[in-house]
Structure 1
Amino acid sequence: MEVAVLKSSGEQTSKKVSLSDAIFGIEPNDHAIYLDVKSYLANQRQGTHKSKQRNEISGSSKKLKKQKGTGGARAGNIKNPQFKGGGRIFGPQPRDYSFKLNKKVKDLARKSALTYKAKDNSIAILEDFSFDAPKTKNYLALLKALSATDKKTLLVLSEANKNVVLSGRNVQHAKITTAEQISTYDVMNADRVIFVESSISKVENLLNKA
């Protein structure tokens, strides 16, 4: 599959980049995508939720009333879960939600996600560029030139570029990453994936090792 290389002004250049079928033209595996996205979202969870159990509540441990003869249900102390302010039964406790995913599954998921974007013609390739200074208006102008102002975009750089990252940091629905950090979630979440020209070879080398 060949894709024309664009200038940052949105105009086409005379160059074209051939996308590897081993990365952008495989038979997509939906289950691998599901597992990788699930793993990504699970890793984002802090897992710091906590409720107090009966033994952690401040209060008297004295029995409230005698066991029999009151006509009502028997009751222990004020820290019992059935009383207001008592401990919570089976409440949430701190935990780690992350789980390990096989590297081959992760690579297959990324290839599948990129294949879907290629089939939908949602991939654009830009000439390598940089900004002289971090300015949000420069990044907005770039998106406008690519007709992607109102779309969720993922810009894939070959390596971290401080000025570009800072320029796009405050732009809504715009994500910037590097070829080495590209994730299935980011690709699937974007309406349009924009690669700088030098990042294509890095992504292909990264995923061809699988």
Structure 2
Amino acid sequence: MSMTLAVGGLIVGVVGVVLTIVFARKAERLNSIRKRLDWADLQAAASDLSQKIRADFNPVAVVTPGLSGATFANLLVTDFPGQPPVYVGIRTWKAADHSSGLSSESIRIETKKWIVEIPASVTALIESQGDILIVDDFAMSGDFLEMLRSEMVAAGFSPERIHSCSLAVTKVAIKNHKSPDYYWWIADDDEFYFPWGKAR
């Protein structure tokens, strides 16, 4: 009788391991072909990332290049002590017909696709000696994050005080060592959608 139970237990255990592997591979495949992140994903990402970030530091402020990054930053900062201020930049698509509204009172960054202006008032945080978190929705190449970090260092911030985070990142950015310090989802490319529109 005990031998039968032992054999039965062994079979159930082996079947359990096999099913775990099968379903894990299926979930991985589904995640790789995912084409849309919804609000539930964003809330889960904000919760997961804020927990990881808080384990390392508590930011005195968040800097984000535009409205899409600010949307995610807003979800993220609710879990930080004191809800640090969010400095929102103006991001203009280069191919757009309208003017970027350039201002001398900003930190200007130009990439292949974007012109981004970060409020110059962020430099007031240099005296705080606290950690700054750059937040964006998507890091395609990682070039923008690298450029913003360089501009902030040139403005007087210590490199070790600047951290970065994005909701999604590509394998290209990771491979080129330009990924943010914290990220939630790895995308193959920019062929997917956020709740506010296509990734770009």
Report TM bin, short chain: under 0.3
In our comparison, the structure showing a higher alpha carbon Rg is: 1
Higher helix share: 2
Identify which of structures 1 and 2 has the higher relative contact order when contacts are C-alpha pairs closer than 8 Å and 6+ apart. Answer: 1
TM-score (norm 1): 0.26
